Structure 1
Amino acid sequence: MTKTALVTGANKGIGYEISKHLLEEGFRVLVGARDQERGEIAVSSLRAFGDAHLVSLDVADLNSIDCAVTTIKNNYPELSLLVNNAGIPGDMHQAGWEFSVEDLQATHQVNFIGPFALSKGLLPLLTANKGTIQNISIPIEPLPYFNAFAYATSKAPLNVMTKSWGMSFEKENIPVEIFAVMPGAVSTDLNGRMTGDFVKTSAQAAELIVNFVLDDENHNGQVINYDGTLAVY
């Protein structure tokens, strides 16, 4: 049976490349996109690589998440992989105290609340299919060269969710694997197409991310750095 994956934020950047890579590996890919037109354009392009379908999904909108979950339950009950990729960085250079509460709420909604709600909604399918939840994340320790307050504080609970759910899945014998991958610096729209010797392309990041899905290793509860080492906190 064809494996089916949902990738959020899949109409561009890392999400598009993850979708492409999964298609090349024989997955059916549900392309989660909040913009209908951009999503349709992405699906049309991705169909050159395999069986791609558009799912309208805005992770900032709980009603949109509920509708997407219903659509998937009704039409793709074989879903076995969820990739929580969609995200926003907030202002990556603004001091923490300068953010408004509203700006922080918006960032946390997309980077944590949305993925939480989507994962919760799709958990019965993923349990039935012995599936996987893969979260795309970032390091949360502030550093002199990377001190993105809204971004880090919104990804921190996603990392906690990864570890907490993984522990509970194991304790309760729930046949779902959840883990997070931190691909490192990647040139995307989110960072203004940054460049440098240490910066990956979206395609390079996607290959790294998908390889963890395909390696047949048990990564349950892990938050994994781009070099394969584990984040410990």
Structure 2
Amino acid sequence: MNEKNEQHEQHEQGAPTVALVTGANKGIGYEIAAGLGALGWRVGVGARDEGRREAAVEALRAGGADAFGVPLDVTDDASVAAAAELLADRFGRLDVLVNNAAVTGGSPQEPTLVDLAEVRLAVETNVLGVIRVTNALLPLLRRSASPRIVNMSSGVGSLTLQSRPGEETGPISAAYSPSKTFLNAVTVQYAKELRDTGILINLACPGYCATDLNGHRGVRTPAQGAAIAVRLAALPDGGPSGGFFNEDGPLPW
């Protein structure tokens, strides 16, 4: 039996979908994990902090999810490699990757005032972290019958919305917002490279949710923000790839 047939047989025999969500110990990431768990999937809770990670796993399990912890710092090569090895040893494949871990980059963020170290931190986590994790896990995703990647972006990453007069796109930002624009551009390039592989990769905008990133000033709940990521993670074969979506549909670039 060839590898592709083995993959299909695994799913046909009812093997649960295996997903990993980075930055899943709280906020939107936690709610994404909960949403995927509600689908009956096995969900890896990727997080750096051991205590928070295990507390999240315990809470998810209490809610009925088949959750497990994955020690993961997206900015560290060795940590990412270890996470990939853990998943390979335990499951032999990965079906869904949700790149959710992110930082704001501190303040102030006006271009004339921003600390370059904060810009580097935002890019290192929000962009290079996504590339690092995605590339490390692609061999496992290629073993899946229906692999999906969801990158968590933001409406503030849209240059169209940022430059549209009167559009509400949040405060001036020379670190966080441009890092999401960068992520959007990188995701498009992934979609082009992976076009004929069956791997669907898309960007999800959760909206302005109340999380630690914004001091809980957001007007949406993390669960509301997670819904679009869950939807994109569960796309059927032949679905869109290289798109930028919120719950209402495609967003402008």
TM-score exceeds 0.5: yes
Distance in 2 (CA, whole Å) between partners of 1:83 and 1:215 is 13
Contact 1:3/1:78, CA 8 A, preserved across alignment = no
2:216 paired residue among 193, 199, 216: 193
The residue aligned with 2:183 is 158
Distance in 2 (CA, whole Å) between partners of 1:102 and 1:193 is 24
Contact 1:179/1:222, CA 8 A, preserved across alignment = yes
The residue aligned with 2:143 is 128
Aligned length: 227
The residue aligned with 1:28 is 42
Contact 2:107/2:114, CA 8 A, preserved across alignment = no
TM-score by length of 2: 0.84
Contact 2:103/2:125, CA 8 A, preserved across alignment = yes
Return the letter of the residue paired with 1:159. Answer: N
The residue aligned with 1:174 is 197
Return the letter of the residue paired with 2:20. Answer: L
2:61 paired residue among 47, 71, 74: 47
Distance in 2 (CA, whole Å) between partners of 1:183 and 1:92 is 22
TM-score by length of 1: 0.91
The residue aligned with 1:228 is 249
Distance in 2 (CA, whole Å) between partners of 1:55 and 1:76 is 13
Unaligned segments of structure 2, at least 5 residues: 1-14
Say which one has the larger Rg.
Answer: 2
Distance in 2 (CA, whole Å) between partners of 1:29 and 1:145 is 32
Cα displacement string for residues 148-199 of structure 1 (whole angstroms, at most 9, x for unaligned residues) = 22011211221112111111211xx21211000111111101001114xxx2
- Percent identity between the aligned chains? 37
Return the letter of the residue paired with 1:225. Answer: N
Distance in 2 (CA, whole Å) between partners of 1:208 and 1:123 is 22
Distance in 2 (CA, whole Å) between partners of 1:103 and 1:86 is 16
Contact 1:65/1:114, CA 8 A, preserved across alignment = no
Shift of the 185–93 alpha-carbon distance from structure 1 to 2, 3 Å rule, reads farther
Unaligned segments of structure 1, at least 5 residues: none
Q: Give, in angstroms, the shift of residue 93 of structure 1.
A: 5.1
Query: Which of structure 1's runs of 4+ aligned residues deviate more than 4 A?
Result: none
Distance in 2 (CA, whole Å) between partners of 1:151 and 1:214 is 28
Shift of the 123–215 alpha-carbon distance from structure 1 to 2, 3 Å rule, reads closer
Contact 2:228/2:245, CA 8 A, preserved across alignment = no
Q: How does 1:1-150 map to 2 (within 5 A)?
A: 1-48=15-62, 49-91=64-106, 94-129=109-144, 130-139=146-155, 140=157, 141=159, 142=162, 145-146=169-170, 147-150=172-175
Q: RMSD over aligned Cα, in angstroms? A: 1.7
Return the letter of the residue paired with 1:71. Answer: L
Distance in 2 (CA, whole Å) between partners of 1:202 and 1:222 is 22
Distance in 2 (CA, whole Å) between partners of 1:153 and 1:92 is 14
Q: Give, in angstroms, the shift of residue 62 of structure 1.
A: 2.1
